[in-house]
Amino acid sequence: MTDTSTTWADKTADFALRKAKEICLKASIDPDQYEDDLTTFVIEEMRLAISDMAHDKIHGGPAMAYALNQPFYQEIYISDGSRRAAERLISQVQQQQRA
């Protein structure tokens, strides 16, 4: 029997890291060169995204609680976290290039 929480966590982590890498590549930054930093940023931003989902699920009423059980809506939060992680890496790389 498969542990669904592990499966969800693995899929979410893969999705988040893949999205962040795509954004970095669009900004002409090689994500593999900064893999450790990007991974750290993705982990931090995923914690915030999951926290935001939990908060919205609790305080958003029954419709929001139902919606946040759907993968489509979860992906919105995860994609936003991925974007923030990529933006943090891009900002860090730009600051290093200026120094």
pLDDT digit string (tens) for 35-83? 999 999 999 999 999 999 999 999 999 999 999 999 899 999 999 999 9
Query: What is the pLDDT at residue 9?
Result: 81
**Count of helix runs (H) and strand runs (E) in the chain:** 4, 0
For every residue of 34-79, which 3-state class applies, written as one string? HHHHHHHHHHHHHHHHHHHHHHHHHHCHHHHHHHCCCHHHHHHHHH
pTM of the model: 0.85
- Contact present, 23 and 82 (Cβ < 8 Å): yes
The residues, any chain, with a CB within 8 Å of residue 88's CB and separated by 6 or more, are: 41, 45
Mean pLDDT confidence for 3-24:
86
Query: Is residue 48 exposed (0-12), middle (13-18) or buried (19+ Cβ within 10 Å)?
Result: middle
Sequence ranges of the domains in the chain: 16-98
Provide the token pair at 39.
């991974």
Report how far residue 53's alpha carbon sits from residue 60's, in angstroms, rounded to the nearest whole number: 10
